[in-house]
Amino acid sequence: MSHVLLCLQNFLMIDRMKRAVLDTNILTAGLRSRRGASFAVLSLLADGQFRALVTTALFLEYEAVLKRPEQREVHGLGEADVDRLLAELAAVLEPVDVRFTWRPQLSDPADEMVLEAAVNGRADVLVTHNVRDFAAAAPRFGIPVLRPAEFLRGVAT
């Protein structure tokens, strides 16, 4: 490949906004504390610094988990507040249609929808606190799995 094409390819990769799938645990951690990396990831999303991808199944999981009584007790939001938050999220999330599934890939069946969103959405990265859960499968699809702090370093560059 010529030097000009390599430079153009590098420019396009740098200029293109990162596409990420956020595991549900990023939302729960971000709502629990404003000091952590998960909150910073959510703040970058709100500021339009990257594109977050979501399937219907994953969005419904976000809703179900955030509305659990034990979660509401921790993050302190009422159901109406969670509904407003979900509406705001829906406005910035990019919907992904699941056209292909490769189940089972993961030891936890509940994580399959997260991987499917990443694969079908052609995500650049999957962001989770449970890196180990995705470590065996995601690389087969060419998707890096990062913790929130690692993702933040990548967005900053």
In a domain, 109, yes or no: yes
In a domain, 26, yes or no: yes
* pLDDT over threshold 60, residue 11: no
Domain range for 65: 17-156
Nearest to 125 by CA among 98, 111, 143: 143
How sure is the predictor about 111, in pLDDT bands with cuts at 50, 70 and 90? confident
In a domain, 11, yes or no: no
Return the pLDDT at 104. 66
Token pair of 26, please? 């990023």
Return the pLDDT at 75. 92
Return the pLDDT at 85. 96
In a domain, 22, yes or no: yes
* pLDDT over threshold 50, residue 51: yes
CATH (domain of 59): 3.40.50.1010
In a domain, 5, yes or no: no
Domain count, the chain: 1
In a domain, 57, yes or no: yes
58-67 confidence digits (pLDDT tens)? 999 999 999 9
* pLDDT over threshold 90, residue 72: yes
In a domain, 126, yes or no: yes
In whole numbers, what is the pLDDT of the chain averaged over residues? 87
Return the pLDDT at 131. 93
Residue 122 Ramachandran class (φ > 0 left, ψ -120 to 50 alpha, else beta): left
Beta strand extents in 1-148 (DSSP E only): 19-22, 51-54, 94-95, 125-127, 145-146
Q: What is the pTM of this model?
A: 0.86
117-156 confidence digits (pLDDT tens)? 999 999 999 999 999 888 888 888 899 999 999 999 988 6
In a domain, 99, yes or no: yes
Return the pLDDT at 154. 83
CA distances from 6 to 1, 74, 145 (A): 7, 49, 26
* pLDDT over threshold 70, residue 16: no
